[in-house]
């Protein structure tokens, strides 16, 4: 049996769950999210706690059981607190600025790179730090990955766009290799 699927989901105050056929809606103070669930999974809410169970106890359904529970837990967290990804621009002259809902990055190319914020995503810029905020964990992570892909951190000088807590392994350059060979 899935160990993750069996864990109950505590619903914070102000968060409600509505189940309509195969669609689960999570309503909270920051917004609403919905998920199309499998018909093999049964949801039950008791005293502010959501329980998931399988209708058929078959090992081939355990992965969908655990995944559904994780997705619902992330949705509850998102509509209550929201999700944040913080990023840092490292490099001489690298900067970011906001133009309406568009993030404009100047990261060493001959042109600025513009990234449009989709519905439900907000950008914040402070000097060389960019923050991506939203209620949908998957969307926040995808947009942050798109921003990072504009200029990934390179291993020699460490320049590029990285997550705030990311550690970039540095390599020794040619000069260090040549000095070690003598």
pLDDT digits (tens, 9 = 90+) for 56-105: 888 888 889 889 999 999 999 999 999 999 999 999 999 999 999 999 99
Q: Are 82 and 26 in contact (CB under 8 A)?
A: no
- Residue 178: the pLDDT is 66
- Residue 176: the pLDDT is 64
Domain regions of the chain by residue span: 9-80, 83-163
Whole-number Cα distances in Å, 161 to 11, 60, 86, 126, 152: 36, 41, 11, 14, 6
pLDDT digits (tens, 9 = 90+) for 31-56: 999 999 888 899 999 999 999 988 88
pLDDT digits (tens, 9 = 90+) for 152-163: 999 999 999 999
Q: By C-alpha distance, which of 51, 6, 13 is closest to 29?
A: 13
Alpha-carbon span 124 to 140, nearest angstrom: 13
Q: What's the token pair of residue 86?
A: 């913080």
Confidence grade of residue 21 (pLDDT, cut at 50, 70, 90):
confident
Whether 9-80 and 83-163 share one fold: the answer is: yes
Confidence grade of residue 5 (pLDDT, cut at 50, 70, 90):
confident
CA atoms within 13 A on the CB side of 35: 22
Query: What CATH architecture is 83-163?
Result: Alpha-Beta Complex (3.90)
Query: Kind and range of the H or E element at 163?
Result: strand 160-163
CATH topology of domain 9-80: Outer Surface Protein A; domain 3 (3.90.930)
Assess whether pLDDT exceeds 70 at residue 1.
no
Q: What is the DSSP string of 39-50?
A: TTEEEEEETTEE
Confidence grade of residue 13 (pLDDT, cut at 50, 70, 90):
very high
Q: Are 113 and 107 in contact (CB under 8 A)?
A: yes
Give percent of the chain with pLDDT exceeding 90: 75
Lowest mean pLDDT among 23-37, 38-52, 123-137: 38-52
Q: 43 forms bridges with which residues in the sheet?
A: 52
What average pLDDT does the structure give for the chain?
92
């Amino acid at each position: 049996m899935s160990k993750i699927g069996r864990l109950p989901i505590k619903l914070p105050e102000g968060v409600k769950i509505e189940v309509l056929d195969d669609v689960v809606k999570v309503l909270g103070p920051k917004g609403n999210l919905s998920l199309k669930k499998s018909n093999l999974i049964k949801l039950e809410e008791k005293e502010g706690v959501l329980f998931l169970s399988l209708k058929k106890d078959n090992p081939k359904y355990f992965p969908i059981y655990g995944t559904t529970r994780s997705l619902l837990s992330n949705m509850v967290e998102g509509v209550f607190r929201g999700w944040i990804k913080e990023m840092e621009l490292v490099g001489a002259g690298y900067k970011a600025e906001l133009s309406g809902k568009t993030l404009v990055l100047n990261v060493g190319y001959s042109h600025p790179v513009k990234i449009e914020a989709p519905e439900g995503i907000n950008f914040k810029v402070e000097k060389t730090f960019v923050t991506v905020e939203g209620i949908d964990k998957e969307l926040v992570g995808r947009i942050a990955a798109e921003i990072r892909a504009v200029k990934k951190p390179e291993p020699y000088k460490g320049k590029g766009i990285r997550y705030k807590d990311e550690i970039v392994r540095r390599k020794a350059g040619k000069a260090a290799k040549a000095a070690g060979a003598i």
